[in-house]
Amino acid sequence: MIFLWYWALPVLIVVPFLIAYYVWIQRRRSKFAIRYSSLSLVKDALDKQSKWRRHIPPFLFLLGLTAMLFALARPVSIVTLPKQEGMVILAIDVSGSMRANDLKPSRIEAAKAAAKAFIEKQDPTTRIGIVAFSGTASLVQAPTVDRDAALAAVDRLSLQRATGIGYGILTALDAIFELPDAPPVAAQSVITPVAPTAPTQVLPTPTPVPPGYHVPAIIVLLTDGQNTTGTLPIVAAQKAVERGVRVYTIGVGTLQGVTMQGGFGGQGGPGGGPPGGGGGFRAVLDEKTLKAVAEMTDAEYFHASDEDALIRIYQNLDTQLILRTQRTEITSFFTAGAIALLLIGGTLSLFWFNRLP
């Protein structure tokens, strides 16, 4: 407990003086009773309970006065409470390798289905945003409580080339903190592929958060490959650490990787092979980096080798509760308690002794 007007606390020094005065009064009464011993015996015979009962009203008055003096200092209670996550950003890999069919019907379709199931089970007050990343990254859906809009954004995801995991994390951070002055991360349409020409994003320097502190928002990043372009994932993860954002990572597909032929993918031309060609490439899951990102941000890494495992991961993801401190002024409680104690003390004194303490 803290006090908004701590300078008012010294008035509490009157309490021990009042206690000392009351003790002095009682001793004086005892000396007076000794002088008139016969009168004292008569009083004791008439009321044996008066010895302890006469102290109750003054005691209640003293408690009431103490509570009132505390109220003058405007006390504030600091309570740690579990709080629902206020925002979840789903960052989904839309690189060419996500068309692999080791997850049925394909990695991207399995990821969409799992993401939609996750969205539907979230608390109605939780805002959900969708980020798509490949060679670049885009905010497909700004954080919203509109579940239909979030689900539609997932349906709009389409495949492109290359894998920029760091871009995905930085764009998700942009969405969380709504940084209007930050340059975009090679923003592009997720439906019509364009050449990745924008530079690496530089986020504004944040005010460092205390170790172990987390903002009421998380990033859930899903990918099936390794970073091939843009900001390094570890560098982007450090930005999340500085802002108190946890990044849960999900790796999909087999650890051995999969060889892709044609289509989008790789770092080369639109066909996935060398520039201007349509050759094959091998997509390998970089678990080491994904685990490091999760560990740095105090989150978890999950591996999904099939579509059922992916759905279970999303369903069991621990996104709902964090501990938050909340300050509440409790002056009114102290005031109400003080008034109640004073009234009770006065009532008892009048009822027992026909006088106030």
Nearest-CA neighbor of 246 among 213, 289, 201, 210?
Answer: 213
Tell which CATH classification among 1.20.1050.90, 3.40.50.720, 3.40.47.10, 3.40.50.410 matches the domain 86-319: 3.40.50.410
pLDDT of residue 205: 55
In tens, the pLDDT along 244-292 reads 888 999 998 776 666 666 554 444 433 334 344 445 566 677 888 999 9
Q: Domain extents for the chain?
A: 2-79+329-353, 86-319
Two tokens at 45?
A: 């015979």
pLDDT of residue 46: 47
Two tokens at 338?
A: 């003080």
Two tokens at 125?
A: 């007050």
Instruction: Tell me the mean pLDDT in the region 88-98.
Output: 89
Nearest-CA neighbor of 49 among 341, 345, 348?
Answer: 348
pLDDT of residue 59: 83
156 band by pLDDT with thresholds 50, 70 and 90: very high
199 band by pLDDT with thresholds 50, 70 and 90: very low
In tens, the pLDDT along 279-333 reads 556 667 788 899 999 999 988 899 987 778 888 888 777 554 555 667 788 888 8
Cβ 239 vs Cβ 169: under 8 Å: yes
Instruction: Tell me the mean pLDDT in the region 176-199.
Output: 41
Query: For residue 350, is pLDDT > 60?
Result: yes
Out of 51-60, 88-97, 115-124, 292-301, least confident range: 51-60
Q: Give whole-number Cα distances, 189 to 132, 135, 137, 186, 327, in Å.
A: 10, 12, 9, 10, 43
141 band by pLDDT with thresholds 50, 70 and 90: very high
Which contiguous run of DSSP H or E holds residue 176? helix 165-177
Cβ 215 vs Cβ 244: under 8 Å: yes
Identity (one letter) of the amino acid at 274?
P
| Residue 355, C-beta contacts closer than 8 angstroms, at least 6 positions apart | 349
Residue of higher predicted confidence among 116 and 61: 116
Place of tokens 């009234």: 343
Q: Give whole-number Cα distances, 247 to 67, 94, 184, 224, 350, in Å.
A: 47, 18, 20, 16, 66
The DSSP letter of residue 197 is -
Cβ 272 vs Cβ 96: under 8 Å: yes
Which contiguous run of DSSP H or E holds residue 182? none
The DSSP letter of residue 12 is G
Question: What average pLDDT is seen over the chain?
Answer: 75
144 band by pLDDT with thresholds 50, 70 and 90: very high
Cβ 196 vs Cβ 268: under 8 Å: no
Cβ 140 vs Cβ 130: under 8 Å: yes
Dihedral sign of CA atoms 121, 123, 129, 131 in order:
negative
What is the distance between the alpha carbons of residues 338 and 62, in angstroms, rounded to a whole number?
9
- Tell me the three state secondary structure of residue 321: strand
Which contiguous run of DSSP H or E holds residue 272? none
pLDDT of residue 192: 31
Instruction: Tell me the mean pLDDT in the region 135-159.
Output: 91
What is the distance between the alpha carbons of residues 175 and 149, in angstroms, rounded to a whole number?
16
Cβ 111 vs Cβ 98: under 8 Å: yes
Strand order in the sheet with 217-223: 137-144, 127-133, 87-93, 217-223, 246-252, 301-304
Query: For residue 182, is pLDDT > 60?
Result: no
